[in-house]
Amino acid sequence: MNNKITKKKFLLEGKTKKIYSTENPYEIILHYKDNITTFDGLKKELLQDKGILNNEITTLIFKFLNSCGIKTHFIRKINNREQLCVKVDMIPLEFVVRNIISGSMSKRLGVKEGTHTKNNNTILEIFYKNDALNDPLINDHHAVFLGVISYEELNTINKIILNINNILKKYFLEKNIFLVDFKIEFGKNEKNQILLSDEISPDTCRFWDKKTMKKLDKDLFRIGVVSEEVVLDTYMEVLKRLNVG
């Protein structure tokens, strides 16, 4: 079996990744950069080897989700910075799952940070991916009105999200990590199947240590109270915990 993947054409560059075509029209290569951004890209830095860490973390999580029956775009890791993935048409929506109130929701609703949702009342939010509009918070009806998704697809995605959340909460708790909240995205392959796409990493999640409640994610960069080395060490700590057991 020939595992060599030929990188063909540069297709797209985002804040933290580059995308390339392959010889297979239904597959692409994701290249993880060292960029770290927040506040819609207003604050950004280069953190050496951050892309390597996020590639490995996402690989471990997506492989685990694949093994649990979640359909994702992930095929395999190619090298320390790149993954082979199914080519999808991305749905221009970010889905945020909140288990513990923090960040923008805490400020927006005046709820104390660290408040747990009650009676399995997992909170789902939708943000419209549009840089010119600063990715506004929208509801289901807005999304359908915009023509980017149907109600049937939203129902399907919501079921997938709740399943992913149940799986990952348990997965991270076994690593002594609270999954506070996370952002995920979806795309559709050539068969119009909905696949979990993009990444799951400390860039897209809020992780808190179960015992100390210490932040283990990009919030450290966002609030800017620690050095770049501490941010990288924190990402490494998450990777170490995922590699145990």
End-to-end CA distance of the chain: 30
Instruction: Specify the pTM.
Output: 0.94
**Among residues 238, 239, 234, 208, which one has the least CA distance to residue 221?**
234
Whether residue 23 is predicted with pLDDT greater than 90 in this model: the reply is yes
Question: What is the percentage of the chain residues whose pLDDT exceeds 70?
Answer: 96
What letter would DSSP give residue 133?
G
User: What percentage of residues in the chain have a pLDDT greater than 90?
Assistant: 82
Quick: pLDDT tens for 87-117: 999 999 999 999 999 988 898 999 999 998 8
Rounded to whole angstroms, the Cα distance separating 177 from 67 reads 21
Q: What are the pLDDT digits (tens) for 52-66?
A: 999 999 999 999 999
The reported pLDDT for the residue numbered 1 is: 38
Q: Is the model more confident about 176 or about 223?
A: 176
Q: Report the pLDDT value the prediction gives residue 40, as an integer from 0 to 100.
A: 66
> What mean pLDDT, rounded, does the chain reach?
94
